[in-house]
Amino acid sequence: MDNTTKKKKYMLEALELAGRGFGMVEPNPMVGCVIFKDDKVIGRGWHKQFGGAHAEINALADCCRGHSFDSHGASMCVTLEPCCHQGKTAPCTEAIIAAGISRVYIAMIDPSDKVAGKGIEQLRSAGVEVKVGLCEKLAEKLNPAFIKYSKTHRPWVILKWAQTIDGKLDGASPEHKCISGEMSRKDVHKTRRSCQAILVGINTVVADDPLLTARPDKGKKLLRIVLDNELEIPVESQLLNTIEQGDVLVVTTEDVFRAKQQKVEQIVNKRAEIFAAKGDSAGFCDLDDVLSELGRRGVQRLLVEGGREVIGAFLKNDLADELNIYIAPKIYGSKGRVNISDALAGIDLADEFLDVQTGLFDNDVKIRAILKEY
């Protein structure tokens, strides 16, 4: 095995390690690290928890855990440029230099304002040999939301829905309400934990009275958002009465906000927030304005679990970045009330998928499709 093949093998292992942080590290990026010396791996690590040690620090600690490997003169493969600033943890660049690492192979440059090449510059200034670009495309696929937010300060928008084989989103009777199976629902909650906010429309709140939490939450609390053009949210809804389980943001239009001050007061008295968005030509909340506001609030990953109208609005306005579709082996026929084809009418996405992945959850099929690149 030549040197290039070995380095790629170690970087691929670092990418696999990075993926283990999904649902736990966000809004930080997922990062993995492998340290090797004399053709032998001496340390492995990944970013495990938001606010916790970064991948490089965990890999360096692994070099000394239970054995006496010396990191001096070793090489490192890391999936993202090491940080060089003091945040919740100390700069990784300083730890790498102090450990005597002689070569660092970086998959991709960190696009965030605080790093953006500064980590590489600091390492090189200390005499560390740095190479960038090994498995770069794979590293970019790992953290698209982090990349988009770093460049645009707007959230990565994930549209999620469950449907039957014949495209139904809902059933006419209670026994047909839940389309996907238990394993699919667990996967949805894992995705919720990876996001900072979840959004639905008012019709979903009125029909289902959802909590919109991640279960189990594992310490993650979502900002719960309702698109409510006419301020119709029931004051007795679970959302407005469970603020301790996650903040609630009710989004309405500027005109309705001014016209319904009594309802505004009722919502605020429940300790929820209201954002008065610009109205579009049809009198609905301007979704572009909503996403800009969420970006200002630091929302990097937004999960949209709305119904037909909300899904259609995001797609028609070209505001979706990713689709998560769960297809259950069921046919509702006339027992189904809502069809996904209504939301997709007039929309052609066939040529826009950049990456498609499929998974099986018991009998359900999940399709994950990326629509945009940043």
Active site residues: 56
Could you give the CA distance from residue 184 to residue 191 in angstroms, rounded to a whole number?
11
**148 CB-side CA count, 13 A:** 28
Look at phi and psi of residue 274 and say left if phi exceeds 0, alpha if psi is from -120 to 50, else beta: beta
Quote the tokens at residue 8: 């790629």
Exposure string (b/e) for 219-234, b if CB count within 10 Å is 16 or more? ebebbbbbbbbebbbe
- Whole-angstrom Cα distance, residue 35 to residue 45? 9
Contact 229, 252 (CB under 8 A): yes
Backbone φ and ψ of 33, nearest 5°: -145, 135
Task: Provide the 3-class DSSP secondary structure of residue 299.
Answer: coil
Question: For the chain, first and last CA: distance in Å?
Answer: 34
* Tokens 């590293």, located at residue: 139
Rounded CA separation 367/329 (Å): 14
Quick check: 82 and 99 in contact, CB under 8 A?
no
Cα–Cα distance, 348 to 118 (Å, whole number): 41
Q: To 10 degrees, the CA torsion angle through 91, 96, 98, 103?
A: -150
Q: H or E element: which one contains 132?
A: strand 129-132
Q: Residue 194, class by beta-carbon neighbours within 10 Å (0-12 exposed, 13-18 middle, 19+ buried)? A: buried
